[in-house]
Amino acid sequence: MIFSSARCPVGALVMWCRVLRHGLAAGLDPVKLFRQQSRSGPAVLRPVAAALAQRLEQGESLGDALADYLDCFPPLFVELIRVGERTGHLEETFQVLEEYYDQVQSIQRQFRSAMTYPVLMYLAAVGVITLLILILGYLGGQGQAVTTDPLGLGLSGISGAMMFVAVALGLPVALLVGLKLLANKVRWQSQLEAFLLGLPGWGPAFLLLALQRCAVALRMGYQAGLSVPKVVRHALEAASNAAFTRGQSRAVAVVKKGGSLTEALRASGAPFPDEFYEYVQLGEQTGNLPEVMERLSPNYAEEAARRLRSAATATAWAIYALIALMIILAIFRIASIYLNALGQAAG
């Protein structure tokens, strides 16, 4: 959820969960609540709210109505609402979701804040080198510069400066646009998060986010009294990470044969750490799995936020190193040309 979907921003989810929680606590009809959201709720979700109100009025359950919007809402949101509705704990479900997405929103803010300064530094470096290419190109045309190509890449003058800007800014922009397009598709977002698990620095943070989502789903499933196979399916689906969901059928098969939840999670092949298995086993043995998961979930959220800050800091230093490398290359390129020219003049 670091890469928020434009179709369903995290802030809109927080607002929805808060309004629906308060409305249900006050005894308001869900149909009226969604009609209200279709008029005054988050603009991006107003059409969805109107459609949901109409379908609820026709007698559909909220979980069934949301099934047509699986490519819009995160799996955790849909899965927990289904659980809460079936067990009569919908108000509590919206409270849990509100707390979770509020944490996600806080993590997103911290991430953007950590990356702002490195991005500005990168833009400043691109601007300086672009000016250097332009100025040396102009002086070279006047016969007043030893070189017109400070980077040694064949870039000089206006055309060279434009080419440099196109590459230096075009590649990062293309990457960001690609990530945003992937984030707008829930299925591809889960594939993206699975890929990022192997990325140094970022991988552990995304693993912790997936573990937090699993812990929330396990807690809600057991509190709702669902069967263990359903709890396993909901928990792995709620992780919103392909590394967890691809072994879902194996895990469900284990519990259907009488295996424990711990054995099922191991059979899934998902990258659960040993610590997670120990907590699950402890919860199973003591009969307090919901309480164990309730304590574990915020710990994962805090650790994920810390890891993301560390990853953002490491990325910032990598950007600084790239900037320094570009400037140093330009300086050495110009210095070597001038030294060669002086040597030839002395010879």
- What is the residue-wise DSSP string for 98-110? HHHHHHHHHHHHH
The list of the chain residues with pLDDT below 70 reads: 1-7, 137-155, 182-189, 330, 333-334, 337-347
Instruction: Using the CB atoms, write b or e for 191-214: b if 16+ within 10 Å.
Output: bbbbebbeeebbbbbbbbbbbbbb
Show me where the domains of the chain are located. Answer: 10-99, 202-301
**Residue-level pLDDT at 151:** 59
CATH fold label, 10-99:
Receptor-associated Protein (1.20.81)
Length of the chain: 347
The answer to whether domain 10-99 and domain 202-301 are alike in fold is yes
Read off the tokens for 85.
């509705």
pLDDT tens figures, 316-336: 788 778 777 877 776 776 677
pTM over 0.75: no
pLDDT of 34 reads: 92
Looking at residue 185, what is its pLDDT? 64
Q: State the pLDDT at residue 50.
A: 93
pLDDT, tens digit, for every residue of 19-45?
Answer: 999 999 888 888 999 999 999 888 888
CATH number for 202-301 (one of 1.20.81, 1.10.540, 3.40.50, 1.10.10): it is 1.20.81
Alpha-carbon Rg for the chain in angstroms: 27
Tell me which residue has tokens 């690609």: 178
Among the listed residues 306, 80, 284, 292, the one whose alpha carbon sits nearest the alpha carbon of residue 208: 306
Task: Say what the pLDDT of residue 337 is.
Answer: 64
